[in-house]
Amino acid sequence: MSIPENPIQGRPGPISRRAFLGLGGATAAALMLSGSPIAALGARVAKGQTPSAAAGYGPLVPKGDLMLPAAFNVQRIDMQGLPQRDGRPTPGIFDAMGAFPDTGGNTNGEGKRTVLIRNHENRERPGEIKVVTGPAFEYDESTFGGCTKLVVDREPAGTDPETGQQLFEYTVSDKFNILGGTSTNCAGGEAPFKKWITCEEVVKGPTGTTEAGTFAPLKHGYNFEVDAMSDGPVVAVPILAAGRFVHEATTFRAGILYQTEDRRIQLDPVLGEIGACLYRYIPDQRVGQSDNLAETTGPLEALAIKGSPHMNMDAVVTPGASFPVEWVPVPEADHEDDTDNRRDRAPGFTPTRIQAQDNGAAYFDRQEGIWASSQGAGFKIYFDCTEGGPQNLGQVWEYDPGREVLTLIYVSTDRNTLENPDNITIVPQTQDIFLCEDSPGEQFIRGVTQDGEIYNFAQTADNDTEFCGACFSPDGQTLFVNQQGSRGNLPGGVPGAQAVTYAIYGPFEKREGANNKNFGNGPASGA
């Protein structure tokens, strides 16, 4: 998830509220919300006050591998190096996951079986276990990344003698490599037709050689589709029309694939600065479980702020600041620049984000997780910026497709409150946003309420590798989450820093405090 090869160059210092209002200030001021909890939060932040903390589910206490609220329990269900169905060791460097209902012949009862598709962020570096699916299935045999499929059963396991709480046992009943031949599979997103979109967080290639010794035409920097219901490996086919860039995460809603980009803000000789863009890909045909996005074409577009072309969203510091948006075209979604950094604007060789920002797209500082939240019959989309905000500690944004409005709902000014959010998911019972941290030292899963308050939900204990892959089972009763692990000491991983998958369960519906399930920024869009 971190991208050390792209350092900030000449990054300006924090921008004051007055300077921010100069960057599309009339637009921002006109749309500042009034009377909503987010507006109240924005007023406090504008006065220099830290966003308030919520009680959440209560103080964190030791619960085995993790620190959790007292009413919750956790079970380690998988680790790097454990044998899979075919005897191969489980690859490491766990990352994002999606959870799907099992619709196979043995469902084991409603709510008792979940299919997980899990990314492996292998970058072809020492200390990695290659995700092997075989030559007939792999996109590029020279790369190590891909996805595994886990089938997880949940059964009652008695009651806690002290609390009387119902306990459960989770068992991985099947596990195999389902997609291979990709690189740096970071995040991704669930699709409503029981598919996982896995994202390459790298632009590189061509790689490999032909029998004649010349480079084969294999490029990386794409999304790939995984059928979660497949009982064996799937053929890895890049979704070319969705764009070639440093992908982070996706969410698919109302026939549109929304995509985040993990790039820092850098200097540019033409625009002054460039950063990450928020994209949408609109397929030219309806897709489902029997179709593949790789077979579609359609426009790739990037979000822009109306009246403020190429706006720096990293400078926005006030929760509740909202902006009307439009979408600008990316002319060449599948370009030929393998550095993702060429700046001379040569036709066919200009990186995706530069094409977008030359057309007026807004730019952000390291977009990462994205998830759609259903509200009634509609949805809104939430994403975070790992290094967003004046102290590079993180921002959380809401995009409302129905009103075409973008709103800042949280910005961190204190690393003890939130430090570098990465993967995100939505709690079904409360619509809170769970943020997985990717920061130095101790890692947390933090919850952001619909009132813009924040609380701690989980904390690492002995293993301080980053949280990632948070997703809820289809019945909403189990939070599955990973710790990524470190490279080395194969096959089991570095002691105290192994890649691990957990199942966390408890009363997610009993979070303390207000819970209006809407940030107050207007009705949700129709699905």
Q: What's the pLDDT tens digit per position in 158-188?
A: 998 888 889 999 999 999 999 999 999 999 9
| High-pLDDT (> 90) share of the chain, % | 76
Q: What's the pLDDT tens digit per position in 391-403?
A: 999 999 999 999 9
DSSP-derived letter for residue 316 is -
Of 42-51, 114-123, 426-435, the range with the lowest mean pLDDT is 42-51
Tokens of 404: 């075409």
CA angle 425, 478, 481 (to 5 degrees): 55
Q: Does pTM surpass 0.85?
A: yes
Q: To the nearest 10°, the Cα dihedral for 359, 7, 245, 433?
A: -90
CA distance 481 to 468: 6
CA distance 446 to 424: 10
- pLDDT at residue 61 tops 90: yes
pLDDT of residue 105: 46
pLDDT of residue 163: 80
pLDDT of residue 401: 95
pLDDT band, residue 10 (cuts 50/70/90) = very low
- pLDDT at residue 504 tops 80: yes
Task: Tell me the mean pLDDT in the region 6-28.
Answer: 37
Task: Tell me the mean pLDDT in the region 132-143.
Answer: 96
pLDDT band, residue 215 (cuts 50/70/90) = low
Tokens of 116: 């997980």
Taking CA atoms, 373 is separated from 161, 252, 256, 428, in Å, by 37, 11, 15, 8
- pLDDT at residue 431 tops 80: yes
Tokens of 364: 């952000």
Task: Tell me the mean pLDDT in the region 4-15.
Answer: 36
For the chain, how big is the Rg over CA atoms in Å? 22
CA distance 160 to 171: 19
- Domain-by-domain residue ranges, the chain? 17-91+244-526
CA distance 192 to 379: 13
